[in-house]
Amino acid sequence: DIQMTQSPSTLSASVGDRVTITCRASQTISTWLAWYQQKPGKAPRLLIYKASTLEIGVPSRFSGSGSGTEFTLTISNLQPDDFATYYCQQYNSYSSWTFGQGTKVDIK
Amino acid sequence: EVRLVESGGGVVQPGGSLRLSCEVSGLTFRSYWMTWFRQAPGKGLEWVANINKDATEKYYVDSMKGRITISRDNTKNILYLQVNSLTAEDTAVYYCSRGIAASDLWGQGTLVTVSS
């Protein structure tokens, strides 16, 4: 199975900051990677798919990049609504999907 | 409005079974692959199972193979997950979602608690 290693596990930041979260796959997944945002007690929300395509309705301050095994999610100009937990997910194969461990973005 | 509504969760004793349901409305259910995920309390997300449009392909997470069955009824627009031989490690919120790639639509989840 493909393992996803996400870092950092926690990130403290201030409103207006630019933050970057990294996800590394144990083997190449091309660009079959998604990023989700989750708030307590809520279902995840898709932010980015195919590594860099912004889901409809997601603010443009979110961006994704990478291919192969290294990926990043960047939030520019962090807003109060962005304090949440973020997950990467690989979907390289129908038969096995995996998530990173999650990154909690909290207020510094 | 597109809605995915899970049900069937609750408290079950170790060794017991549950069938979770996900009622889908507002989209052409039979046109989409569907997926179950779960999330244990305070933990991360875990993919559980996928099913294709006509239920001829089904895939399961290795850790639950042999204990779970994903199915669907395209006449009723309902997705199911049968989970057997439950243990405390199965305690989680179970979510259904649409798609075979990134999951853009999710239900609100149903909580399964395995406890004696």
Contact B45 A50 (CB under 8 A): no
Q: Evaluate the CA torsion angle A70, A73, A77, A82 in order and state its sign.
A: negative
Contact A44 B46 (CB under 8 A): no
pLDDT at B99: 82
Q: Which residues 63-102 of B are in CB contact (within 8 Å) with A?
A: 95, 100-102
Band of residue B7 on the pLDDT scale cut at 50, 70, 90: very high
Helix H, strand E, coil C: the string for chain A is CCCEEEECCEEEECCCCCEEEEEEECCCCCCCEEEEEECCCCCCEEEEECCCEECCCCCCCEEEEEECCEEEEEECCCCHHHCCEEEEEEEEECCEEEECCCEEEEEC
Q: What is the mean pLDDT of residues A71-94?
A: 96
pLDDT at A25 over 90: yes
Share of chain A above pLDDT 70, in %: 100
- What are B59-104's pLDDT values in tens digits? 999 999 999 999 999 999 999 999 999 999 999 999 999 987 889 9
CA angle B55, B83, B63 (to 5 degrees): 90
